[in-house]
């Protein structure tokens, strides 16, 4: 398992991951939402230099299983083996905390990490997407734990059903944790602004998405 913070400083990670969402995932999501798909996207980046290997977005217009993450993983493995890095050399980025389907897909594909921007709670509030925590609650009966990643600054404590955020298999890191890892207060403020800007901009897609889903 790899903690991305052992590879790069939090500011380097946030700059690269925000740029990837803004310039690569967002345009794909906007186009897919306009055609009736749901929101949310993912990207796979090289651990070494944080360059994007592939970015994609939800394709539920084709199949209910093609969430942003599952579709991106499928497209990654469509790249010939000689032309893509091994999964152990990659960081998995997702716009939102992955649902139980995608969390499992990331694991089964062999990735040892993922980093996400919106928490389940934010996904629920901003996009009216209720399924993630509901499934953990009603089907998996996951024990409640300390949701240390639930707030933007990484400090707010909430209790919720909790998958294991750190294990021998996988490390899950939120943008909130990356922000909390910035030691200089002024620099941290600057990056909080950067993340809020990306969230605001991506969040504007929620209007068209809600229309597609028939949610007022
Ligand atoms: Zn999913």
- Note the pLDDT of residue 62: 87
Residue-averaged pLDDT of the chain? 87
- Smallest CA-to-CA distance from 33 within 200, 212, 201 is with 212
Give the pLDDT of residue 145. 64
Give the distance (Å) from ligand 1 centre to CA of residue 61.
14
Q: How high is the pLDDT of residue 135? A: 82
Angstrom distance (rounded) from CA 212 to CA 58:
13
Cα of 144 from ligand 1 centre, angstroms: 21
Give the Å distance between the CA of 18 and the centre of ligand 1: 20
pLDDT at residue 152, rounded to an integer:
44
- In angstroms, the CA 213 to CA 13 distance is 33
Give 36's contacts (C-beta < 8 A, 6+ positions apart): 61, 212
Strand 113-118 with 90-96, pairing? parallel
Q: Are 25 and 43 in contact (CB under 8 A)?
A: yes
Q: What is the pLDDT of residues 132-176, one digit of tens each?
A: 877 877 887 776 665 555 444 444 555 565 677 778 889 999 999
pLDDT per residue as tens digits for the range 56-114: 999 988 899 999 999 999 999 999 999 999 999 999 999 999 999 999 999 999 999 99
Q: How far is the CA of 166 from the centre of ligand 1 (A)?
A: 19
| Distance (Å) from CA 131 to ligand 1 centroid | 9
**Which tokens is 153 given?**
């600054």
| DSSP bridge pairs for 46 | 90
- Cβ pair 57, 41 in contact under 8 A: yes
pLDDT at 153 (0 to 100): 45
Distance 63 CA to ligand 1 centre (A): 12
Class of the CATH domain delimited by 4-210 = alpha beta
Cα of 15 to ligand 1 centre, how many Å?
24
Q: What would the mean pLDDT of 174-192 be, rounded to a whole number?
A: 94
Output the pLDDT for position 1.
85
Per-residue tokens: 81: 């083996």
| Mean pLDDT, range 18-44, rounded to an integer | 93
> How many whole angstroms from 9 Cα to the centroid of ligand 1?
28
40 CA to middle of ligand 1, Å?
A: 9
51 alpha carbon to ligand 1 midpoint, in Å? 23
| pLDDT tens readout for residues 29-39 | 999 888 888 88
The CA-based angle 51-59-129, given to 5 degrees, is 95
Q: Which pLDDT score is estimated for 151? A: 47
């Amino acid at each position: 398992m790899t903690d991305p913070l052992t590879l790069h400083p939090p500011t380097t990670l946030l700059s690269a991951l925000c740029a990837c969402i803004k310039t690569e995932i967002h345009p794909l999501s906007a186009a897919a939402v306009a055609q009736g798909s749901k929101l949310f996207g993912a990207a796979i980046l090289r651990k070494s230099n944080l360059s994007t290997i592939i970015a994609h977005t939800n394709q539920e217009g084709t199949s209910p299983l093609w969430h942003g993450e599952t579709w991106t993983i499928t497209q990654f493995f469509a790249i010939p083996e000689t032309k893509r890095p091994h999964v152990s050399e990659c960081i998995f980025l997702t716009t939102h905390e992955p649902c139980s389907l995608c969390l499992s897909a990331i694991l089964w594909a062999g990735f040892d990490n993922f980093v996400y921007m919106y928490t389940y709670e934010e996904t629920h509030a901003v996009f009216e997407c209720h399924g993630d925590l509901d499934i953990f609650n009603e089907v998996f009966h996951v024990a409640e734990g300390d949701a240390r990643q639930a707030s933007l600054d990484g400090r707010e404590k909430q209790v919720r059903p909790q998958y294991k955020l750190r294990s021998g298999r996988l490390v899950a890191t939120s943008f909130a944790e990356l922000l909390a890892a910035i030691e200089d207060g002024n620099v941290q403020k600057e990056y909080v602004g950067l993340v809020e800007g990306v969230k605001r901009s991506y969040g504007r897609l929620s209007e068209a998405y809600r229309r597609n889903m028939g949610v007022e």
